[in-house]
Structure 1
């Protein structure tokens, strides 16, 4: 038996165009992350994203091991990655989420590469956000913990010294694969922080956007009795302040209690 022929449905075009909001979300933060990154995206969705602020992500090619040479190879991809985030639309801030690569490539070079695709957008890098956060907290003497090898850690030690900090103690864990760095248990980071923070340090900087440090910043601060700045925490804080969000969120550490004005001091 032949199936009955279906009746063609008439489709009407609504005669009035609905009103449009200026933007789907009021604020926009762009995020360029490594292809292998497990941590930054969930961190930013927890610390930055809201009903007012959207986080828009692009991933760029990266291959382990984490060496200065491999990190430097990402530089040509930064422009393309930035161009993929809301093409032809403005952003309030854009973050390149790799601490060690930003140190090796250079903050100014990272900014220049991103500005080829997104001119005039404030560019955030983890090491420079870390510097801003440490200065806002009034730290001069610091301890540093990284998951990297000595070879990859050495440029970072020089970076913080160059920015005027006295590095009391610098400890690395010897990892060369960022996927393994992301598997270090957050509670393990609390104990490591306690062991590696020098008594004379004003604050601890925990490097690497792969580490899940942002989950336990408050626990680390309670354990060592001093402020903590971590890569994803610092970039999230700076991105929020650049969007004009000045709200205090102590659940993400002392840094998140500091207002916009502190960013520039």
Structure 2
């Protein structure tokens, strides 16, 4: 089975995670990526609302359709949850009206991935400023997920997040876990994690869900590929139905 699943990615920071994920997933998976416009690189609510605006996403989606993709993911967590649960759902619905394909966003991917792993209590290690991180915790709560610890690194730009290297990412994860949490979530698609997923879980001692990881998992699921795979963390070792409710509400 050959799968082509499309990635809409804002600006330039950790987009090279997707070719890395594609290599780990195997030769029968293609993850073509289109960069969407980012008029201002800032983890600030007004800038994020612009990053995730209907016009910006529609332009990107039309370019992505040239790659004959089978499903689409808006690979931006903050540019989806900042709209709130209902706004993020509307964002996906409008994007799907453009693509005509199964479509989701990274924010909903986190909720669906948590449901696949049976997670109800999580710690969050966010690179965002605190006010933006709070909105992610509120989004998770709407999806039935309790955040037992919320940490914020306070980085304003995606470009700066993208400069964090392996040891910084591993240390950030380990320092911000919470023993009662069933998993650790790292929600920024600007953060490189693809090549260190098993290392992250080894360092923390529990499942770790990262933004680019769950984005790839979600769009493959929507394209009908739920094969178990090694080297990509606990999430990818699970198998399950390609569609249907996975917990909470929102796009599937």
TM tier, shorter chain?
Answer: 0.7 to 0.9
How many residue pairs end up in the alignment? Answer: 237
**Residue 122 of structure 1 aligns with which residue?**
102
Superposed displacement of residue 140, structure 1: 0.9
CA contact (8 A) 2:7 2:72 kept: yes
Matches for 1:209-224 after TM superposition, within 5 Å? 209-224=189-204
Alignment TM-score, normalising by the size of structure 2 = 0.87
Matches for 1:3-42 after TM superposition, within 5 Å? 26-35=2-11, 37-40=12-15, 42=16
Aligned structure 1 segments of 4 or more residues deviating by more than 6 angstroms: none
70-79 or 169-178, which deviates more:
70-79
1:58 partnered with 2:58: no
Superposed displacement of residue 217, structure 1: 1.8
**Residue 81 of structure 2 aligns with which residue?**
103
Superposed displacement of residue 199, structure 1: 0.8
Equivalent of 1:46, from 7, 12, 20?
20
Q: Deviations over 1:159-197 (max 9, x none)?
A: 111111111100010000100000111221212211111
CA contact (8 A) 1:31 1:94 kept: yes
Q: Deviations over 1:93-138 (max 9, x none)?
A: 101111001101332122133123212x111211111111111111
**Residue 198 of structure 1 aligns with which residue?**
178
The whole-number CA distance in structure 2 between the counterparts of 1:176 and 1:243 is 33
CA contact (8 A) 1:147 1:181 kept: yes
Coordinate RMSD, CA, aligned: 2.0
Q: Where do 5+ consecutive residues of structure 2 fail to align? A: 247-252
Q: Deviations over 1:129-161 (max 9, x none)?
A: 111111111111110011110121121111111
* Bigger CA radius of gyration: 1
Alignment TM-score, normalising by the size of structure 1 = 0.83
Q: Where do 5+ consecutive residues of structure 1 fail to align? A: 1-24
